[in-house]
Each structure stands twice: as C-alpha cells, then as structure tokens.
Amino acid sequence: MNKLNFLKNEFVNMLATIDSNTPPIFGKMNVHQMIEHMGYAFRQASGLVPLEATGDEETTQKMYRFMMSDKPFKDNTPNPYLPDEPSPTSSETVIESLDFLQKDIDHFFKVFEKDPDLRILNPFFGNLNFDEWTHLLHKHALHHLRQFGSAPTE
C-alpha cells in the first residue's frame, strides 16, 4: 500500500463511508470523535500541537522501533495526553469534521514540502522526519479504521 497516497487521497474517503452510528469494536470514541482525533494527530505531526517527550531515551528508542515496524497498535492503546473519556466534538457534523481533517492532512504535507529536512517531536517516538511521521500516521489511521471495522485489506 502506498502510504502517501492513502493518507492524501483515500483515508478521508474511507472515513466518509463509515456510518456515524457504527459502534466501536474497541475504545470509547464514536466515529465523529475519532475523525477529530485524527485531525489532532495530523496537527501534531505538522508542528501545530507541540507536546513534550514522555519517556527516557531508552524507552523512546524501544517505542520508536515498534512504531517503525508493521505491527499494528493494540486495541485500547493508552495515551496519557488523552482524557479517560473522549472529548466532545468541536464540529457540528461528521461532514464538517471530515473537511477539517482533509485540511489538516493537506497542511501536514505542505509543512514538509516547504522544509523536507524538518523534524517534529512526537512525545512517545522521538524527533520524526517526514517519512517517519507518514509511517506513524498511516499506522494510526489503520488502527482507527479497524476500530470501526473498516480497515482496508492489502
């Protein structure tokens, strides 16, 4: 699967096919909350949401190796930056959230087009370049598609 093409051109379209009333297979977020959560992830990846590192160098390196593998995130993977209960949505409709998500995705690509050598800190996995962020965002996207039974088959 071409990760760049998937994130740029297919991900939002796949999300748009999920009925907003689909219950999650795991986790507490509904479809609308998950879409906004992914927007947050792309804003973080483009440097709009700076976060501090959470672990020591050894832990970060171990987590980085997992992140760069093809192993999927486990169901209910904890994130200390997220509240125990999902945040209310900021957009009124799923369609509006999908539009914002596409803009966040486009912005991510523009940031790295302007500065291909840029590295942006991920609090768990370290200072990531464009290819590393792309790999992580792709893994994250598949995780949440799987959460609602919509992961693509390769």
Low-confidence ranges of the chain (pLDDT < 50): none
Segments making up each domain of the chain, as ranges? 3-74+89-147
Q: Which amino acid type is present at position 121?
A: L
CATH of domain 3-74+89-147: 1.20.120
- Whole-angstrom CA distances from 45 to 17, 25, 76, 101, 154 are 25, 26, 21, 13, 25
**Buried-exposed string 2-39: b where 16+ CB fall within 10 A, e elsewhere:** ebeebbbeebbeebeebeeeeebeebebbbbbbbbbbb
- State the pLDDT at residue 19: 97
Q: Which positions ≥6 away from 146 have C-beta within 8 Å?
A: 25, 72
- State the pLDDT at residue 154: 57
pTM tops 0.85: yes
Q: pLDDT, tens digit, for every residue of 99-124? A: 999 999 999 999 999 999 999 999 99
- State the pLDDT at residue 80: 84
Q: How far apart are CA 68 and CA 82, in angstroms?
A: 22
